[in-house]
Structures are given as structure tokens and as C-alpha cells.
């Protein structure tokens, strides 16, 4: 199965939107959930029906984290023991990392795994209330196994976090096994279909072979063989963060589809007295709300594709023993996870409000999308902490430049930090709209903010602050630097994608969207570009002028651009975002189907209102 799965990734399935579109019948019929996992892992605009984690189901963590962790960290012998039963859903797993008192700070996790050489077992234990595993999806009632991250103790020493496969429930009765205290954590803001759970381990013994030992090992005598890098244990998290980037684009594309389609149906007010009410999509303010988000959705989808391709390329290098690009992958996945989810989360609400009062109805699907997407800003790493992880990589890279080293990859722009050419201060009030030039401006902005953050740390140190306090007193600057770095990277990925488009018509439209994404960002962060010296005071009005021109340019293609996301009505589940535009008819039918309308007179009238009226 593992080899078949690996081969599956290399097959060209990008044009498949349903299982029936896969022409290889052997592949299609061999394992339907195998094909589903492929679709889930590698988001693509044509595969949204299969790759939308926002729907929520108890098997998500099994598919997205348990199985990939086995693939990435299990030995061949462990694959034989665990993978096939997991593939066939005999073993249903979850990924138990987060604890009640510890989340993103992984080194602070308290769960212990103590090796007992006399019995060749690990003793898994939750020593405190705060060490109880908390939040894993599917843990409450569905899973019968968990990959548990715990502090490994052997021969009297702690060797940090390692991953262990822990049976939770009887395979026959599904009852919790001895020492396992397990359950659901209760209602949440969303994800009603997911049984997020808790797990308290009370001296639970598991065989030595249940430690995932592809990279780190404990020998029968208790000696510890450390991995090439401790960060290899976190590979699943990096993978999920890479997926989240693409999913932010998917979710934002859904909301843009709903809001833009509805804006083409809804007519309201008058632009000129006495004339028919125009589509609200013709109002510039509506375009200003929605079209930059449309451009952002495309940008994030392209960024998601880039992240998955990069993850798989670097994972291949890691399997060959080359860890050189792992720090960059970790930093980029952390930063883009935060950057895209923050932006998408805000964008969902903008789309909802742009639909007026009807956007508040659950019939629009927008409220449900919001509550299901919101936790992505905190799961798999709280976003501010994610930005600071990226900042650590940026600061390290900056110090390397200071020491005379030449950088490559995503931070190579820092090589120019000391001798970059600033834009001339002011001769022309016209803004250069060449896409390559705009990417260069974002690069200079990012370099400036990285340099300012580094200078802030240096200044704090010069005042006598210790290293930790200097860092803490500079975190606002550090988050700004990471945000600018991510913004630059997304625009660069967008530009590179546009350059690959051969069709002249498609290239023109996508180039316009890329320009809109860049100019809208310049408008939002004008101060940064002024401070970097790449924008002059005389050019500021032209930013707004350019933005307005781009909105008008996108308007004729707006509905076609959301149709190109290819969201099926059944999956979108929105009366406002219907492809056929029959919004009001559908809304009326949706309302009539409400449970409160099953009877003409509700029982509450007889129980409460009628007795009250009799008293009056």
C-alpha cells in the first residue's frame, strides 16, 4: 500500500474532479479511500470536492496525520504491522500532541514515555492535569489508536519528544483499555461533527516496537540512537501546515464564489436617478471588498501548490540524508500557515457582510464556513507563535549575511540588504506597474523590515537586556518582518505562476489579478513602502488610481473567475452562491423547509402563549 501510495502521487490526476474521471479503472477500483487520500493531500482547484477539510469529519486526523506520520516515521517492520490495518480502517488513529496546558511550545509537553528494559516496554504516563492530551480530532469516541508525542526517558535521561503508537480501545468492544481515560471535550465554536477528545494515560505499557523508529531508536538495552535532526519528529506538522496554506485558498475561493455570484444577482438602490437598480457588483465599494479577495484566493491556491511540491521535494532529499533545506521548509510552512489563515479568516467575514442581511443566514453557508475555518488560526500552531518561528529563521539568516555568507532560497534577497538600490525619490508621480518591478518592491520592503527587527534586538541588547528579553521586546517588529516576508513570497509565487501560463487570454486575466493583489497590498501598507524608499509621497495617489483601474478591469471577468474554481452547488451548499442564479426561489424553499414550519401552529402556542392570553 505504501509503495502504491507513493506512485499515486506521481500520476497526473490534476484534471480529475471526481473518481469517475480517473480513466485507469484499476486505480479507481483498487481502493476508493486511497484515491480520496490523494485528493485530500494535494489540494487543487479541480479537486475541491475532495479536499475541503472545513466540512469536518471524525476521520480527518486519521487520513491527514495518522497515516502520513506512519509513512514518514515508521520503519518497514512497523509499516507491515500498522499501515495495512490503518489503511483498511481496522485501526483508526489520531495524532495526540497538544495538551491541556501546552500547545505550540512543543518542548513544554509533559507526557512521558519511560523505557523499562526489564519488560522491553515504554510506560506512557500523564503526570499532571496540564499534561492531559486535549483537542485531537477523532480522539473522543472514534479512534482506537493514537500516535502520542511524549518526552522519552531512558537510562535516567530525557531525550526529548518522540512519537509512540498507543492502543486506546479494544478492537472488539471499542471499550477503553486499562489505564486509558478518554472522552470528548464537549461543544466547540464549530466542528460539530468532530469528536475532539482528551486522553489521560495512567502508566500505560506499550511494546518497545511501538516507538516510531525510522529516525530515532531505543535499543533493547535502553541506549538511545538520536535522529539526524530533532525536527524530523515534527514532519507531520510541517506537512499539515503546508496543506493549510492551500486550504486557506480553497475556503476563500468558496466565499468569493458565494459573494460574487450573489452580487451579480442582487440589485439595489440607484446609481442614476430613475434608472433600474444595478447589480451591486457594479458598485465600486463592492468591487473593492471582493475583487482583492478573489485575487488573494488565487494567490493562496498557487502558494498551496508550491508548498506541497516543495514539501515533497525536500522530503525526498531528507530521505536521502540531505537536511539542508529543512529549516527553510519549517520556517516557510509556519509563516505561510499564519499569513494565509489570518487573511482568509478576515476575508470570510468580509464576504459575509458584503452579502448584506442574507449573509447572516446559514442558508448562505458563510456562517458555517467561518466557524469551521476559524480554528485554523490556532491549530497546528498559534499564528503569532508561527510568525515568530519564521522570524527566528529570518534573524539567523540576517546574521549569516552580516557575517559575509551568501544565502540561497527564499531568503536570498537578504544578500542585497546592505547594497540595495533605492527607488529615486521623486521625479515621476506614475507608478511602475510591471509585475516584476512590484515583486522587487515587496522584496525591498521585506528586507527593510527584517533589518529593522534585527536592529531592534541589537538596540535592546545594547541597553543591557539579556538575549531573551531583547527578543521579547522586539516581537512586534519580528512579526511585521515575518508578515512582509510571507507577503513577498506569495506575490512571487503568483508572478511565477503567471509566467508559466501560455494561453494569452488566461495570461492577461491572471496577470491583472496578480497586479491587483500587489497594488492592494501596497495600499494597505503604504507606510512600509514609503519607509523603504520605494514609494514616494507623489506616487501615493497613483496607488489608489491604479487600484480603481484594476477593479474595473476585473469586473467583466469576475463571475467567470469564480466559476473557474469549479465549486459544485452540492458541495458549496449555499442558496446565495448557486450557479444558476436562482437565489430567491432557493431561499424561499430553504426557509419553508425549516423544522419550525412543519406545523402551522407550533406546540409552544398551546403550552405558553394561549394560557398567557387566557390570563390577560
* Positions marked active-site: 380
Asked if 163 contacts 100 with a C-beta cutoff of 8 angstroms, the reply is: no
Q: Centre a 10 Å sphere on the Cβ of residue 11 and count the other Cβ atoms it contains.
A: 12
Q: Centre a 10 Å sphere on the Cβ of residue 247 and count the other Cβ atoms it contains.
A: 26
Hey, what's the cell of 337?
Answer: 500557515
Q: How many CA within 13 A on the CB side of residue 166?
A: 36
Block residue for cell numbers 507606510 = 527
CA-CA distance, 258 to 348, in Å (whole number)? Answer: 10
* 98 annotated as a binding-site residue: yes
The C-alpha angle 52, 57, 58, rounded to 5 degrees, equals: 140
Residue among 208, 238, 242 at smallest CA distance from 81: 208
Strands of the sheet containing 133-134, edge to edge, are: 133-134, 197-201, 180-184
Asked if 215 contacts 223 with a C-beta cutoff of 8 angstroms, the reply is: no
* 138 annotated as a binding-site residue: no
Between the alpha carbon of residue 321 and those of residues 160, 228, 313, 330, 509, the distances in Å are: 21, 8, 13, 17, 43
571 burial level (CB within 10 Å; 0-12, 13-18, 19+): middle
**Collapsing DSSP states into helix, strand and coil, what is residue 35?**
helix
Q: How many CA within 13 A on the CB side of residue 455?
A: 7
List, in sequence order, the alpha helices (H) in 266-359: 284-319, 326-354
Residue among 339, 290, 298, 324 at smallest CA distance from 489: 339
CA-CA distance, 525 to 62, in Å (whole number)? Answer: 41
From the DSSP assignment, how many helices (H) and strands (E) are in the chain? 23, 11
CA-CA distance, 445 to 420, in Å (whole number)? Answer: 11
Residue among 579, 512, 576 at smallest CA distance from 546: 512
CA 590 centroid distance within chain: 32
Pairing of strands 112-116, 145-154: parallel
CA-CA distance, 2 to 249, in Å (whole number)? Answer: 29
Phi-psi region of 188 (alpha: psi -120 to 50; beta: other; left: phi over 0): beta
Q: What dihedral angle (degrees, nearest 10) is formed by the CA atoms of 283, 288, 289, 295?
A: 130
Asked if 121 contacts 206 with a C-beta cutoff of 8 angstroms, the reply is: yes
CA-CA distance, 304 to 42, in Å (whole number)? Answer: 9
Phi and psi angles of residue 66, each rounded to the nearest 5 degrees, phi first: -65, -55
Residue numbers in the known binding site are 98, 137
Residue numbers in the known binding site for FAD are 98, 137
Amino acid at each position: 500500500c505504501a509503495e502504491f501510495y507513493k506512485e499515486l502521487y506521481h500520476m497526473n490526476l490534476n484534471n480529475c474532479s471526481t473518481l469517475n474521471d480517473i480513466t485507469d479503472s484499476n486505480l479507481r477500483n483498487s481502493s476508493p479511500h486511497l484515491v480520496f487520500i490523494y485528493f485530500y493531500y494535494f489540494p487543487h482547484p479541480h479537486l475541491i470536492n475532495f479536499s475541503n477539510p472545513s466540512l469536518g469529519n471524525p476521520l480527518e486526523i486519521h487520513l491527514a496525520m495518522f497515516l502520513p506520520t506512519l509513512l514518514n516515521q515508521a520503519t518497514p517492520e512497523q509499516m507491515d504491522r500498522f499501515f495495512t490495518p490503518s489503511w483498511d480502517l481496522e485501526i483508526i488513529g489520531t495524532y495526540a500532541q497538544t495538551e491541556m496546558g501546552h500547545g505550540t511550545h512543543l518542548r513544554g509537553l509533559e507526557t512521558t514515555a519511560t523505557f523499562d528494559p526489564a519488560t522491553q516496554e515504554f510506560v506512557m504516563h500523564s503526570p499532571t492535569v496540564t499534561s492531559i492530551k486535549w483537542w485531537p480530532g477523532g480522539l473522543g469516541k472514534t479512534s482506537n489508536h493514537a500516535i502520542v508525542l511524549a518526552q522519552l526517558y531512558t537510562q535516567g535521561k530525557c531525550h526529548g519528544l518522540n512519537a509512540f503508537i498507543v492502543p486506546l480501545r479494544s478492537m472488539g468492544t471499542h471499550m477503553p483499555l486499562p489505564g486509558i481515560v478518554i472522552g470528548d471535550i464537549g461543544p466547540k465554536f464549530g466542528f460539530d461533527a468532530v469528536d475532539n477528545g482528551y486522553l489521560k494515560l495512567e502508566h500505560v505499557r506499550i511494546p518497545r516496537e511501538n516507538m516510531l523508529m525510522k529516525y530515532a531508536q531505543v535499543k533493547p538495552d535502553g541506549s538511545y540512537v538520536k535522529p539526524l535532526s530533532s525536527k524530523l519528529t515534527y514532519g507531520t506538522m510541517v506537512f499539515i501546515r503546508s496543506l493549510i496554506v492551500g486550504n486557506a485558498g480553497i475556503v476563500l475561493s468558496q466565499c468569493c464564489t458565494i459573494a460574487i455570484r450573489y452580487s451579480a444577482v442582487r440589485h439595489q438602490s440607484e446609481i442614476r436617478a430613475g434608472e433600474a437598480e444595478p447589480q451591486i457588483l457594479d458598485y465600486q465599494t463592492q468591487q473593492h471588498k471582493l475583487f482583492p479577495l478573489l485575487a488573494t484566493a488565487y494567490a493562496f491556491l498557487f502558494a498551496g501548490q508550491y508548498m506541497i511540491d516543495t514539501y515533497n521535494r525536500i522530503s525526498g532529499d531528507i530521505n536521502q540524508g540531505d537536511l539542508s533545506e529543512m529549516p527553510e521548509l519549517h520556517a516557510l510552512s509556519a509563516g505561510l500557515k499564519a499569513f494565509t489563515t489570518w487573511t482568509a479568516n478576515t476575508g470570510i467575514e468580509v464576504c459575509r457582510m458584503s452579502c448584506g442581511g442574507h449573509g447572516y443566514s446559514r442558508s448562505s453557508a458563510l456562517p458555517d464556513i467561518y466557524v469551521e475555518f476559524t480554528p485554523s488560526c490556532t491549530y497546528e500552531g498559534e499564528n503569532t507563535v508561527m510568525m515568530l518561528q519564521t522570524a527566528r529563521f529570518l534573524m539567523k539568516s540576517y546574521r549569516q549575511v552580516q557575517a559575509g555568507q551568501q544565502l540561497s532560497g527564499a531568503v536570498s534577497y537578504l544578500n542585497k540588504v546592505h547594497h540595495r538600490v533605492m527607488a529615486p525619490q521623486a521625479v515621476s508621480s506614475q507608478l511602475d506597474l510591471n509585475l516584476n518591478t512590484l515583486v522587487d518592491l515587496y522584496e525591498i520592503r521585506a528586507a527593510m523590515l527584517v533589518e529593522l527587527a534585527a536592529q531592534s534586538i541589537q538596540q535592546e541588547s545594547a541597553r543591557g537586556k539579556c538575549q531573551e528579553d531583547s527578543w521579547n521586546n522586539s516581537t512586534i517588529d519580528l512579526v511585521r518582518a515575518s508578515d512582509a516576508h510571507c507577503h513577498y513570497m506569495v506575490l512571487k509565487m503568483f508572478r511565477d505562476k503567471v509566467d508559466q501560463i501560455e494561453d494569452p487570454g488566461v495570461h492577461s486575466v491572471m496577470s491583472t489579478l496578480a497586479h491587483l493583489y500587489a497594488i492592494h497590498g501596497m495600499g494597505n501598507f503604504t507606510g512600509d513602502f514609503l519607509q523603504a524608499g520605494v514609494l514616494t509621497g507623489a506616487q501615493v495617489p497613483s496607488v489608489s488610481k491604479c487600484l480603481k483601474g484594476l477593479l474595473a478591469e476585473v469586473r467583466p471577468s469576475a463571475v467567470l473567475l469564480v466559476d473557474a474554481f469549479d465549486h459544485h452547488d452540492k458541495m458549496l451548499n449555499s442558496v446565495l452562491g448557486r450557479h444558476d442564479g436562482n437565489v430567491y426561489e432557493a431561499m424561499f424553499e430553504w426557509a419553508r423547509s425549516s423544522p419550525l414550519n412543519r406545523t402551522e401552529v407550533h406546540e409552544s402556542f398551546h403550552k405558553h402563549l394561549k394560557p398567557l392570553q387566557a390570563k390577560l
